[in-house]
């Protein structure tokens, strides 16, 4: 993506939050939503725009789990590893997804179709194990259901 276009997007976000330093986390969320991840250039623009040292911006980005410094796949898979999902075998679902996609948690597939992450709880515990793909919630997952569900995403 052209760098200027990204820069314009980031500036738009900073403007929305009135250059308020304390909104850094929201600015990062919106920037990531606009670009897909947080490239170094975006962090530099945010640092200048909010007048926060780049090192501080970087430390916030790496502290919180929600942010990614590398590009992500078209579909973000989040497997819930909250306690309710854990006692119902969520770890086996993760293993199966890793096997099918040939990647480890935290990685992208080579064709950038998927990124696999885990999340601590999405709060839909009645249906555990839960797998969230993009904005879709898939409940009562089992290793056997994995390939069927993944098929729906291209």
Partner 1 sequence: MVKIKSPAELGALKNSIMEKRQAEKPVITICNGTGCQAYGSKSVVAAFENEVKKQNLESKVDLKVIGCPGFCERGTLVVIKPKDIFYQRVLPKDVPEILSETIGKGNIVNRLLFTDRARNEKIVKEGDVPFYKSQMRLILGNNELIDPEKIDDYIAIGGYTALAKALQMTPETIIAEVKKSGLRGRGGAGFPTGNKWESTRNAHGDIKYIICNADEGDPGAFMDRSLVEGNPHSVLEGMIIGAYAIGGHEGYVYVRNEYPLAVKNMRLAIEQAEAYGLLGDNILGSGFSFHLQIRRGGGAFVCGESTALMASLEGKVGEPRAKYIHTSEQGLFGKPSNLNNVETWANVPLIINKGADWYSKIGTAGSKGTKIFALVGNITNTGLVEVPMGTTLRTIVFDIGGGIPKGRKFKAVQTGGPSGGMIPEKLLDLPVDFDELTKAGSMMGSGGMIVMDEKTCMVEMARYYTNFLMGESCGKCVPCREGLRQMKYILDSITEGRGKEGDIELLQDLAATMVDASLCQLGQSASNPVMSSIRYFRDEYEAHIKEHKCPAGVCKIAAAAAK
For 107, residues 6+ apart whose C-beta sits below 8 A from its C-beta are 115, 116
| Nearest residue to 97 via CA among 64, 136, 129, 135 | 129
Q: Is 64 in the site for partner 1 (CB under 8 A)?
A: yes
Minimum distance, C-beta of residue 30 to partner 1, in the bound complex (Å): 9
Residue 123 near partner 1 by CB under 8 A: yes
CA distance 12 to 18: 10
Contact 105, 117 (CB under 8 A): yes
Q: Which of 70, 83, 147, 152 binds partner 1 (CB under 8 A)?
A: 83
| Cα–Cα distance for residue pair 65/88, rounded to 1 Å | 24
- Smallest distance from the beta carbon of 49 to partner 1, in angstroms? 12
Residue 26 found at the interface with partner 1 (CB under 8 A) = yes
Q: Determine how many CB atoms are found less than 10 A away from the CB of residue 142.
A: 12
Least separation in angstroms between CB 3 and partner 1: 25
Chain residues binding partner 1 by CB under 8 A are 21-26, 28-29, 50, 52, 56, 59-60, 63-67, 81-84, 86-88, 119-128, 130, 135, 137-139
């Amino acid at each position: 993506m052209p760098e200027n276009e990204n820069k314009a997007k980031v500036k738009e976000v900073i403007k929305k939050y009135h250059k308020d330093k304390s909104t850094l986390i929201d600015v990062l969320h919106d920037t990531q939503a606009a670009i897909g991840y947080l490239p170094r250039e975006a962090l530099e623009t945010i640092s200048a725009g909010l007048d926060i040292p780049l090192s501080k911006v970087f430390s916030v980005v790496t502290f919180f789990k929600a942010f990614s410094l590398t590009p992500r796949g078209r579909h973000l898979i989040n497997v819930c590893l909250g306690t309710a999902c854990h006692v119902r075998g969520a770890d086996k679902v993760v293993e199966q997804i890793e096997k099918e996609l040939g990647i480890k948690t935290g990685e992208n597939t080579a064709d950038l179709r998927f990124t696999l992450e885990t999340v601590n709880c999405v709060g839909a515990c009645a249906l555990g194990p839960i797998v969230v793909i993009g904005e879709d919630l898939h409940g009562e997952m089992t290793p056997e259901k994995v390939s069927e569900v993944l098929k729906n995403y291209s």
